[in-house]
Structure 1
């Protein structure tokens, strides 16, 4: 079952530090651009993934072609893609050892969600972390002092 309670969503967001955003855009007119900025302002490291703009930078972060190139621990894979495109992204998230899948507003794929959950990943579907952070009144994340 995807996470639905306020406590589940709060725990996931409070426990995360690094978010890979699949479908990140370099256009200020796209929702992913604004969500990425809000997540960064909140203290998350957001790593953009988009094969169309690989090698460019969005909000100061290098854009990767695919999750497997990142090489850092990914806590949440935030998906800004059509529902029918989620399956292969979940496969990649499982392969790289991500802890959770977050499907944005309007992105609903129960089969991919079940596959992620069967592999031990937490799943959020049809929600936006920017909206949830505001709604839940989450404090900014303080970076680790390492």
Structure 2
């Protein structure tokens, strides 16, 4: 299989990642003291919509975030992870690729504004699906809106 097929660049692929995932490790999550930042607000929104959020702090925060224990590396998270959502600057992602490869989640999602094609290629070549430069909250809101507007038997 061509590794480029693991680069998720269309809406259908994004929807598939979201709807087939439940456990999301958030690399670079922020604590409640930074509730105004997307690195807290997005995982909080996901948690409110049924996702199991696993905090992975790179900012030195200790203790629970969103009521969950915090880990210092993705590979330290017990059990399987469906998606790792990444809140790191593009130039900082390379330092985390080996950690991501060690955990081997089904997908890695670089948040809106974050693109690192070299890291994405390494992950994709390892069989991990990669979404770049998209917001999980915005994309989930689209999926929820689609689901709410779909009513079986309704006139189209």
Q: Which runs of 4+ in 1 moved over 4 A?
A: none
TM-score, length basis structure 2:
0.84
Mapped to 2, the partners of 1:89 and 1:114 lie a distance apart of: 14
8 Å contact from structure 1 (residues 90, 101) kept in 2: no
Mapped to 2, the partners of 1:23 and 1:138 lie a distance apart of: 29
Supply the RMSD in Å over aligned alpha carbons. 1.6
Which structure has the larger Rg?
A: 2
Mapped to 1, the partners of 2:96 and 2:106 lie a distance apart of: 13
TM-score, length basis structure 1:
0.89
Shift of 1:90: 2.5
* Aligned residue in 1 for 2:82: 75
Shift of 1:89: 2.0
Query: Which runs of no fewer than 5 residues in structure 2 stay unpaired?
Result: 148-156
* Aligned residue in 1 for 2:27: 22
Mapped to 2, the partners of 1:113 and 1:66 lie a distance apart of: 19
- Aligned: 1:135 with 2:142: yes
Query: Which runs of no fewer than 5 residues in structure 1 stay unpaired?
Result: 140-146
1:118 to 125, 131, 134: 125
Alignment of 1:33-48 (within 5 A): 33-48=40-55
Shift of 1:138: 6.0
Shift of 1:7: 1.1
